[in-house]
Amino acid sequence: MTKGVVYTEWPLAEGYCWPHSYLPGETVSLRCSSRVDRFSVTVTRVGAHRDLVWERDNVSAEHYDVSDDAWQTGCDWPVAVAIPVEPDWPSGFYEVAMIVDPADAARSGHRDGHPGRLRSEAFFVIRSGEPPGDRAVLVLSTNTYNAYNQWGGRCLYSGADRVSFARPVERGYLRRPAAPFDVDFDGRMASVESEPDREHRRLQRYQAEGRYPLWTNSAGWHNWERRFVRWAESEGIELDYAVNADLQFVPELLDGRRQLVSVGHDEYWSRPMRNAVDSFVDTGGRWAIFGGNTMFWQVRLEDEGRTMVCYKSSARSADPLAGGPISGSSASGSSVSGSSGSHLMTGLWSDPKIGYPENLSTGLSFTRGGYYRVGDAVADGSGTYVVHQPGHWAFADTGLTTGDELGSGSFVVGYEVDGCALKWIDDGAGAVVPVPTGQDGTPVDVDILATAPARLISITEDRCEAPEALWAGLDPPGDLEFVAEILFGDASPESVAEIAQGHAVMSVMRRGSGLVFNAGTTDWAYGLDKDPVVQQVTRNVMGNLSGSRSIAANSPKVH
């Protein structure tokens, strides 16, 4: 049984900015289609506060028919509004709202006054035009936004293998009423109910009542990056901003920087993006990953970044590059010559045909983690990490001790988590601690700071562990069986058992002369709302990796 496609609910006025990234002094192109005579446009920088920076009333735009394949070809709407980026506008995330007055809607014959019809949002990012100094650059997970955005009828989860950035973003990905200050719940995927909620009924009610599209819980600015930015700017942490594609198309983005930050769900990476970050870390850069399911799929950005290609689970059979010679990087990370072939196939980075598991860049992989408090995956877990190295600099000033739970009440472990193949050994001081085995590509000298149980969701002919109303497809195989098939060549009981009991892992990895901290969980940023221990760990990571503090000696090695 496979879920039907959920189509877009069309606002009366909507649009998109293309491109998504600008420098001060440039002009933002807002491209709109409207079924009313006029609407207003506002531009708001969203950080610790919402700061209105620009507005215009009585904007008009024609109504344009949407082609049957707009999800992959884009819209090509003309520019309705040119927004000048003033030199004093700081780097940041800028929300563009297109707002229809109810009276104007009624005069145009539209009686539905639901907010989903009267208001829509687009976005752009302003990069910094100044030398970076000590500022970290936060790269937004815009590839993941695009993967889940079903505007026009399809996305990478409903039958598409290529999706266009040049189209609007569905309602809810960019702005919703926000917990914990405005509402008590704002659409988390991981269940946070006191009792296990395997079908996520609370989330289903939330989506139905708010008319939010199916996958707004899995991607977008609202869920994670917005939370991180609100906390960081409130702390006085200065950030520069960029989008995923800037790592590929703005080669100077990381020049002179000390720190790169990824937050939430940064799932889709092109090879040029990854090459840029690997080089940055190898030459002394520090990368803070406050997310999970990071760098799971390889994509190709085509048409000068306008189109993202990813064949996902069908890559081996459908991607035109799948049949080429195996080349690129080996599992050990050594370079293999070749400029074309299966190393550019848009499947799992961990696929042996691609030969460059993400562990080599991030320290961890979703293939050894999975889900937490999603469906039947650790449905009754506490949502916390168990601490193994309390003396590590990441835990300074937290009061944590060995075996303590980190994130209690905040459910920071969920909904998708990354781990590694590990084993448990005696540390010589009476404690049993986890260390990497190295068999999955994670270097054996990675420090494992904390762990939690996790599970890739299984779907077989006899059993479905997924929440049925929220999953893209319920036909076998599930993630567990699919990953086993890719990694080991079959989904036999022995292969499945190899990865059936995963772990969420918090880790620190040395790569070249740089360093990677990986929180290993998408939902880390939820702890920044009001959990002082999560806030302190984040403070430690940001301070140490920025170079504003010297990184203290790690705990003694037990490998």
Task: Tell me the C-alpha distance between 418 and 522, whole Å.
Answer: 9
Structure tokens at 256: 């002179």
What pLDDT sits at residue 9?
Answer: 65
Residue 176 lies in a domain: no
Run of H or E residues at 424: strand 422-426
Beta-bridged to residue 14, according to DSSP, are 33
Whole-prediction pTM value? 0.94
The verdict on residue 106 lying in a domain is no
Q: Are strands 268-270 and 297-302 parallel, antiparallel or unpaired?
A: parallel
Task: Quote the tokens at residue 350.
Answer: 């961990």
Average pLDDT for residues 361-375, to the nearest whole number? 98
Contact between 413 and 385 (Cβ < 8 Å) = yes
Single-letter amino acid, residue 252: E
Is the pLDDT score of 4 beyond 80? Answer: no
pLDDT at 554 over 70: no
Q: Tell me: the pLDDT tens digits for 146-166?
A: 999 999 999 999 999 999 999
Residue 548: pLDDT band with limits 50, 70, 90: low
Interaxial angle between packed helices 225-234 and 532-546, expressed in degrees from 0 to 180 and rounded to the nearest 10: 80
Q: Are 36 and 110 in contact (CB under 8 A)?
A: yes
The one-letter amino acid at 226: R
Paired sense of beta strands 239-243 and 136-140, if any:
parallel
What is the mean pLDDT of the segment spanning 463-482?
A: 96
- Choose between 87 and 2: higher pLDDT: 87
Structure tokens at 364: 């961890």
pLDDT band at residue 326 using 50, 70 and 90 as cut-offs: very low
Predicted confidence at residue 109, as pLDDT, reads 85
SS3 content of the chain, % helix, strand, coil (to 5): 20, 25, 50
Domain ranges, residue 394: 365-546
Residue 342 lies in a domain: no
Provide the 3-class DSSP secondary structure of residue 157: coil
Q: What is the rounded average pLDDT for all residues in the chain?
A: 92
Q: What is the mean pLDDT of residues 532-556?
A: 77
The whole-angstrom separation of Cα 383 and Cα 68 is 42
Give the whole-angstrom CA distance, residue 31 versus residue 52: 20
Given a contact cutoff of 8 angstroms between Cβ atoms, the answer to whether 265 and 215 are in contact is: no
What pLDDT was estimated at residue 8? 56
Alpha helices in 175-224 (DSSP H): 201-210
- The 10 Å Cβ neighbour count of residue 500 is 15
Q: Is residue 23 part of a domain?
A: no
Of 127, 142, 14, 126, give the one whose Cα is nearest residue 81. 14
Q: What confidence score (pLDDT) does residue 324 get?
A: 63
DSSP 105-173: HHHTT-----HHHHEEEEEEEEPP-S--TT-EEEEE-HHHHHHH--TTS--TTTT-SEEESSSPPPTTS
Lowest average pLDDT, out of 79-88, 175-184, 215-224, 259-268, goes to 175-184
Q: Which strand (E) or helix (H) includes residue 121?
A: strand 119-126
The predicted pLDDT at position 328 comes to: 37
Contacts of 443 (CB under 8 A, 6+ apart): 359, 360, 363, 436, 509, 510, 511
Instruction: State residue 516 phi and psi, 5-degree precision.
Output: -125, 120
Mean pLDDT within 166-193: 94
Would 318 be classed as within a structural domain? no
Which DSSP helix (H) or strand (E) runs through 543?
Answer: helix 532-546
Write phi, then psi, for 59 (nearest 5 degrees): -80, 140
Q: Is the pLDDT of residue 230 over 90?
A: yes
Is residue 525 within 8 A of residue 518, CB to CB? The reply is no
CA–CA separation, 13 and 100 (whole Å): 7
pLDDT at position 3 over 50: no
Mean pLDDT confidence for 434-451: 97
Q: How far apart are the first and last CA of the chain?
A: 46
| Beta bridge pairs of residue 55 | 42
Which pLDDT score, from 0 to 100, does residue 116 have?
80
For residues 197-224, average pLDDT: 95
In a domain, 493, yes or no: yes
Is residue 510 classed exposed, middle or buried when 0-12, 13-18 and 19+ CB atoms within 10 A define those classes?
middle
Q: What are the structure tokens assigned to 465, written together?
A: 């562990």
- State the total domains in the chain: 1
Q: In the structure encoding, which two tokens stand for residue 143, read together?
A: 């590839």
Alpha-carbon gap, residue 61 to 227, rounded angstroms: 33
One DSSP character per residue, 336-390 reads: E--SSSGGG-SSBTTSTTT---THHHHS-EEEEEEESSBTTBTTT--S-EEES-T
Q: Give the pLDDT score at 188.
A: 96
Question: What percent of the chain lies above the pLDDT cut of 90?
Answer: 87
- What's the pLDDT score for residue 547? 77
Q: Residue 447 domain-assigned?
A: yes
| Cβ 45 vs Cβ 88: under 8 Å | no
- What contacts 555, CB < 8 A, 6 or more positions away? 389, 391, 392, 447
Q: What is the pLDDT of residues 112-158, one digit of tens each?
A: 777 788 999 999 999 999 999 999 999 999 999 999 999 999 999 99
Q: Tell me the C-alpha distance between 500 and 494, whole Å.
A: 10
pLDDT score at 5: 39
User: In this predicted structure, what is the pLDDT of residue 428?
Assistant: 83
- Residue 462 resides in a domain: yes
Considering only 112-116, 492-496, 552-556, which range has the smallest mean pLDDT? 552-556
pLDDT at 346 over 70: yes
Query: What is the percent of the chain with per-residue pLDDT over 70, rounded to a whole number?
Result: 93
